[in-house]
């Protein structure tokens, strides 16, 4: 595991603009919000050769509850190498105001040696041999199925649904993606990946505090590395990044909730799709809404267009009973609202193109190991999950953001399975608001 902070430098076109490091920027903007002198006058009072005293005077107010000052630091960019897919997921789940990217499964090493050690993950020592044997089997199944599906697509190019006239190089890429995206359900959630995140020092401090409060050893190790790196650019604000009682208590509550639900619902069967959609479009009596669903959408040219008040004001909750972790990783990266999953295994998804009987031994071993970990109340149980492990997943946001997500995740290039999930949610929404149907573009996903 490695953490690298990235210092942002101005382009040549901004050579004459003021240059402030993150905490000095926060200090200057905090003063700016409490003055009518204008920014040039405030900057004249800052000794750029020795600004620490000025910064300390302002940022001490963060200690007294003025947390918003910490958000004035601008985006601090950090690259995080070689964390498990589980920890990458938690980063995006926790840092819900961050911008970021995770390495695609199409571009990372799929091999048993690309797994953190059992010791680094806090995996029970006596169960480590069975776990490592299971992961080796999972990668063999992945390699076997991806090769078979690639061969199938070579023999019958129609399965990749490529438009007529597609160039050979593009056909090859589509074929590889077709194979990988159907074999990927065997990939372990413990597989190493990389994450790049950009957020303010305020949000970094909260994220590190949250990681430091989790029961998983890998999360706490990352918290320490992040804190050390971020102290180089925001030392004062990183004082607020240590584990705190309420975070620890709620992490324990969430952990035991997941353990209990995980034991009660543990299965390797394939769960049938269920979708739950709830819209609350009630408004205060003193602030009524008279815009129709059609008028809220009719002027958009594409999914980036402006949605009207009717749907910007309406909260929506949508959830699936059986989201495979492969798809959950993608949907979890939508920034808006709140996403939640207990990250359990109440089923195991394999697409129709994969013969389920080839995984009989693998699924039996995986279920037995998961059951043992859950019964021991081991915080390492997520590392025995696979990308095919199915779990409930909930997203709470507003309707305009939901419409954007539904159009994006069913559009050209979308993964076939999360397109199915979003399509089902969209149809439930449109059953309630049929007037919106002509103005929402549901895609057909592939070719990917």
- pLDDT tens by residue, 375-400: 999 999 999 999 999 999 999 999 99
Domain with residue 269: its CATH number is 3.30.1360.170
Decide if 402 is inside a domain: yes
Residues 233 and 257 in one domain: no
Residues 334 and 204 in one domain: no
Decide if 221 is inside a domain: yes
Decide if 206 is inside a domain: yes
Question: What is the three-class DSSP state of 279?
Answer: strand
Domain with residue 41: its CATH number is 3.30.1360
Instruction: Look up the pTM and report it.
Output: 0.90
User: Are the C-beta atoms of residues 211 and 90 closer than 8 Å to each other?
Assistant: yes
Residues 225 and 333 in one domain: no
d(CA 145, CA 290) in angstroms, rounded, equals 54
Closest by CA to 41, choosing from 49, 33, 32, is 32
Tell me which of 373 and 412 has the higher pLDDT.
Answer: 373
Residues 232 and 343 in one domain: no
- What range defines the domain where residue 72 resides? 2-81+192-243
Where in 200-337 does DSSP place strands (E)?
Answer: 275-279, 315-324
Sign of the CA dihedral with 222 first, then 228, 234, and 237 last? positive
Residues 295 and 421 in one domain: yes
Residues 410 and 267 in one domain: yes
| Structure-derived torsion over alpha carbons of residues 297, 298, 301, 304, reported in degrees to the nearest 10 | -10
pLDDT band at 431 (very low <50, low <70, confident <90, very high): very high
Decide if 183 is inside a domain: no
Digit-coded pLDDT (tens) for 262-305: 999 999 999 999 999 999 999 999 999 999 999 999 999 899 99
Digit-coded pLDDT (tens) for 54-109: 666 555 544 434 456 666 677 888 999 999 999 999 999 999 888 888 888 777 77
* Residue that finishes a domain, picked among 221, 243, 265: 243
Residues 287 and 421 in one domain: yes
Decide if 129 is inside a domain: no
Residues 276 and 315 in one domain: yes
Decide if 394 is inside a domain: yes
Residues 318 and 414 in one domain: yes
- Mean pLDDT, the chain, integer: 89
Residue 380 has what pLDDT? Answer: 97
Residues 292 and 405 in one domain: yes
Residues 234 and 296 in one domain: no
Residue 49's CB is within 10 A of a number of other CB atoms, namely 5
Sign of the CA dihedral with 82 first, then 88, 94, and 99 last? positive
Domain count, the chain: 2
Residues 278 and 399 in one domain: yes
Decide if 159 is inside a domain: no
Decide if 158 is inside a domain: no
């Amino acid at each position: 595991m490695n953490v690298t902070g990235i210092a942002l430098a101005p382009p040549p076109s901004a050579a004459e603009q003021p240059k402030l490091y993150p905490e000095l920027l926060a200090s200057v903007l905090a003063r700016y919000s409490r003055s009518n002198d204008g920014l040039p006058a405030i900057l004249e009072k800052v000794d750029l050769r020795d600004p620490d005293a000025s910064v300390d005077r302002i940022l001490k107010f963060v200690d007294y509850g003025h947390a918003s000052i910490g958000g004035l630091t601008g985006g601090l960019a950090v690259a995080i190498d070689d964390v498990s897919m589980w920890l990458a997921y938690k980063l995006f789940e926790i840092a819900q105001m961050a911008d970021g990217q995770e390495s695609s499964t199409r571009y990372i090493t799929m091999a048993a040696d690309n797994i953190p050690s059992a010791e680094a993950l806090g995996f029970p020592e006596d169960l480590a041999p069975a776990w490592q044997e299971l992961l080796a089997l999972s990668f063999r199944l992945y390699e076997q199925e991806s090769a078979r599906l690639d061969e199938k697509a070579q023999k019958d190019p129609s399965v990749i649904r490529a438009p007529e006239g597609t160039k050979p190089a593009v056909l090859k890429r589509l074929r590889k993606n077709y194979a990988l995206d159907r074999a990927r359900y065997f990939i372990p959630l413990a597989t190493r990946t990389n994450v790049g995140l950009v957020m303010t020092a305020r949000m970094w401090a909260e994220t590190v505090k949250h990681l430091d409060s989790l029961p998983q050893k890998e999360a706490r190790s990352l918290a320490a590395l992040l804190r050390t790196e971020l102290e180089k650019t925001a030392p004062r604000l990183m004082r607020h990044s240590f584990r705190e009682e309420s975070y620890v208590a709620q992490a324990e509550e969430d952990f035991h909730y997941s353990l209990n639900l995980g034991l009660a619902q543990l299965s390797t069967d394939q769960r049938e799709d269920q979708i739950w959609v709830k819209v609350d479009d009630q408004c205060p009596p003193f602030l009524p809404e008279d815009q129709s669903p059609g008028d809220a959408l009719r002027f958009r040219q594409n999914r980036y267009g402006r949605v009207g008040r009717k749907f910007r004001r309406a909260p929506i909750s949508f959830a699936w009973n059986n989201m495979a972790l492969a798809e959950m990783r993608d949907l979890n990266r939508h920034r808006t609202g709140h996403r939640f999953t207990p990250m359990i295994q109440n089923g195991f998804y394999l697409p129709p193109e994969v013969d389920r009987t080839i995984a009989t031994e693998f699924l039996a071993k995986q279920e037995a190991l998961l059951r043992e970990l859950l019964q021991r109340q081991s915080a390492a149980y997520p590392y025995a999950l696979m990308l095919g492990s199915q779990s409930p997943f909930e997203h709470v946001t507003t309707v305009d953001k939901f419409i954007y997500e539904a159009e994006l995740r069913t559009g050209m290039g979308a993964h076939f399975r999360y397109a199915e999930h979003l399509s089902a949610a969209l149809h439930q929404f449109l059953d309630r608001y049929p007037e919106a149907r002509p103005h929402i573009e549901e895609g057909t996903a592939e070719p990917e």
